[in-house]
């Protein structure tokens, strides 16, 4: 069963079609990447899932039905617009926000302590929020998102302002949540993080679904007829089935002839007696796919 099912939702603000007939689903135990250029309709889609906006048309099911007050405590949300009460001590702020998620004060205290320790914020607990650094506030915000152990986590750019150590820690946390069977919807522009974390992705542009599927499927569908090899010694000057050899950073990119198969090229290399350290089908980085798709959309949109 999916935790979130989105069926053909559309949303218009005045002249702008923010979301256009969008459908997707999010399953338990996965990190789902919600990608798209600025203004593509990601935040609007998230807000519709959370029932902040109602879609003009279409339907959203969350935990098997419409969004209700009771279900709100099953969701943890880290919005794009970060916000904490600036004028009160950190601990009071986090306790209040956790209480709004339906946690009792006896539940909050030990768990908050755990998180504060984990995020290295114990000493800052009595400071006013506005006195904390940006990174510290970001960590505090993550505590607010996760403290009530939600079944569905929706996070918008979770790694902003985090140093590499904290970035790793948050990544580990998200992976742990996934392994517990929680669903995580992550919206980000950091494609390397998506490649590392996400199981499936949805790329939207101008409110429409452009790419949707597992990361692997998508990358393979964009794979060219190229092969990346790292030999121990230099490559022979010509290889059967290879149209062109390009050397990049100690690796070689082999551009195959039209009907040649990578298997055949590998066989030929081995028959030639070339020792290989690495042989892989060239998969385009997500970053490239993103740019390629969005540019194509824009051309389509303009022409």
Residue ranges in 131-190 that form contacts with another protein under rule CB under 8 A: 144
The pair of three-digit structure tokens given for residue 115, joined into one six-digit string: 């998180």
- Three-state SS at 255: strand
CA distances from 218 to 31, 262, 290, 299 (A): 16, 19, 11, 21
| 89 near another protein, rule: CB under 8 A | no
What letter does residue 275 receive in the DSSP assignment?
A: -
Site size with another protein, rule: CB under 8 A? 26
| Member of 16, 59, 64, 83 binding another protein (CB under 8 A) | 83
| 275 near another protein, rule: CB under 8 A | no
| Member of 88, 235, 245, 282 binding another protein (CB under 8 A) | 88
**Residue whose C-alpha is closest to residue 267's, from 248, 246, 230, 241:** 241
CB 205 within 8 A of CB 222: no
Taking CB under 8 A as the rule, which mask of x and - marks residues 63-82 in contact with another protein?
------x--xx-x-x-x-xx
Shortest Cβ 211–another protein spacing (Å): 27
| 86 near another protein, rule: CB under 8 A | yes
Shortest Cβ 88–another protein spacing (Å): 7
Q: Report d(CA 25, CA 45) in Å as an integer.
A: 12
Nearer to another protein, 96 or 295 (CB): 96
What letter does residue 285 receive in the DSSP assignment?
A: P
| 39 near another protein, rule: CB under 8 A | no
Q: Which residues of 218-247 are buried (b: 16+ CB within 10 A; e: fewer)?
A: bbeebeebbbebebeeebeeebebbeeeee
| Member of 4, 22, 97, 147 binding another protein (CB under 8 A) | 97
Our CA dihedral for 176, 166, 78, 145, rounded to 10 degrees, sits at 60
Nearer to another protein, 88 or 291 (CB): 88
| Member of 99, 109, 255, 266 binding another protein (CB under 8 A) | 99
Nearer to another protein, 53 or 115 (CB): 53
| 128 near another protein, rule: CB under 8 A | no
Q: Outline where DSSP puts E strands in 148-241.
A: 152-156, 183-187, 200-205, 208-214, 226-231
| 96 near another protein, rule: CB under 8 A | yes
Nearer to another protein, 69 or 275 (CB): 69
Nearer to another protein, 84 or 184 (CB): 84
| Member of 16, 39, 54, 285 binding another protein (CB under 8 A) | 54
* DSSP string over 77-99: EE-SS----TTSBHHHHHHHHHH
Binding site for another protein (CB under 8 A): 47, 50, 52-54, 69, 72-73, 75, 77, 79, 81-88, 96-97, 99-102, 144
């Amino acid at each position: 069963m999916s935790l979130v099912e989105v069926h053909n939702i559309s949303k218009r603000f005045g002249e702008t079609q923010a979301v256009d007939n969008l459908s997707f689903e999010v399953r338990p135990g996965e990190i789902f990447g919600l990608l798209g250029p600025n203004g593509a309709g990601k935040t609007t889609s998230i807000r519709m899932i959370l029932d902040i906006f109602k879609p003009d048309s279409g339907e959203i099911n969350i935990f098997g039905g419409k969004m209700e007050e009771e279900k709100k405590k099953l969701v943890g949300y880290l919005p794009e617009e970060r916000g904490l009460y600036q004028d009160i001590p950190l601990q009071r702020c986090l306790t209040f926000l956790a209480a709004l998620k339906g946690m009792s004060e006896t539940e909050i205290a030990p768990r908050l302590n755990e998180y504060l320790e984990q995020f290295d914020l114990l000493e800052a607990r009595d400071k006013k929020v506005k006195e904390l650094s940006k990174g510290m506030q970001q960590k505090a915000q993550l505590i607010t998102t996760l403290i009530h152990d939600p079944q569905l986590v929706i996070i918008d750019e979770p790694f902003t302002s985090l140093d590499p150590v904290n970035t790793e820690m948050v990544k580990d946390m998200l992976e742990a949540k996934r392994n517990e069977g929680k669903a995580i919807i992550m919206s980000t522009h950091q494609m390397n993080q998506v490649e590392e974390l996400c199981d499936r992705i949805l790329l939207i542009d101008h409110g429409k679904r452009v790419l949707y599927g597992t990361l692997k499927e998508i990358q393979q569908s964009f794979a060219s007829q190229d092969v990346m090899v790292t030999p121990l010694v230099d490559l022979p000057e010509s290889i059967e089935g290879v149209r062109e050899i390009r050397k990049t950073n100690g690796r070689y990119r082999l551009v195959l002839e039209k009907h040649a198969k990578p298997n055949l090229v590998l066989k030929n290399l081995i028959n030639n007696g070339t020792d290989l350290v690495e042989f892989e089908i060239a998969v385009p980085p997500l970053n490239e796919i993103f740019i390629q798709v969005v540019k194509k959309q824009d051309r389509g949109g303009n022409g």
